[in-house]
């Protein structure tokens, strides 16, 4: 079955760069049948869409994060990644990777990233 798994540091210092990777199993990113998304959830809050990538490398970013955000894909490793620069405490959240463009049918378990010195 399709599984997604986030990985990366759980603690990032303010103004540094947050980097996460999502490893996909049970499905091939390079098949081109799905888009691959990042979504985050601030502690005790609702869900915020971050952006997506397609196997070709085409991306969409949430305008509120666009200036700090980069999403990339490595089809050879069946992974896609997120980089968020100049982080602040407001970026503290659980970060999820998910499959889909208009709806998200498979999600990673989520990883908590705390921004603190």
By CB under 8 A, tell whether 38 contacts other proteins. Answer: no
Q: How far is the CB of 4 from other proteins (least distance, A)?
A: 9
Q: Which of 2, 11, 47, 89 binds other proteins (CB under 8 A)?
A: 47
Distance CA 108, CA 93 (A): 14
Per-residue string for binding with other proteins, 67-86, x by CB under 8 A? --------------------
b/e map of 42-69 (b: 16 or more CB within 10 Å)? eeeeeeebbbbbbbeeebbbeeebeebb
By CB under 8 A, tell whether 35 contacts other proteins. Answer: no
CA dihedral (68, 59, 105, 112) in degrees, to 10, reads: -20
- Phi, psi (degrees; rounded to nearest 5) at 34: -140, 155
By CB under 8 A, tell whether 107 contacts other proteins. Answer: yes
Q: For binding to other proteins (CB under 8 A), which residues are involved?
A: 37, 46-49, 62-63, 96, 98, 101-105, 107-110
């Amino acid at each position: 079955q399709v599984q997604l798994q986030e990985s990366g540091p759980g603690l990032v210092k303010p103004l540094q760069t947050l980097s996460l990777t999502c490893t996909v199993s049970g499905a091939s990113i390079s098949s081109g049948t799905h888009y691959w998304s990042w979504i985050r959830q601030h502690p005790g809050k609702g869900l915020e869409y971050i952006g997506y990538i397609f196997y070709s490398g085409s991306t969409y970013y949430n305008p509120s994060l666009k200036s700090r955000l980069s999403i990339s894909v490595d089809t050879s490793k069946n992974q896609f990644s997120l980089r968020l620069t100049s982080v602040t405490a407001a970026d503290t959240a659980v970060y999820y990777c998910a499959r889909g463009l208009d709806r998200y049918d498979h999600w990673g378990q989520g990883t908590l990233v705390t921004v603190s010195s």
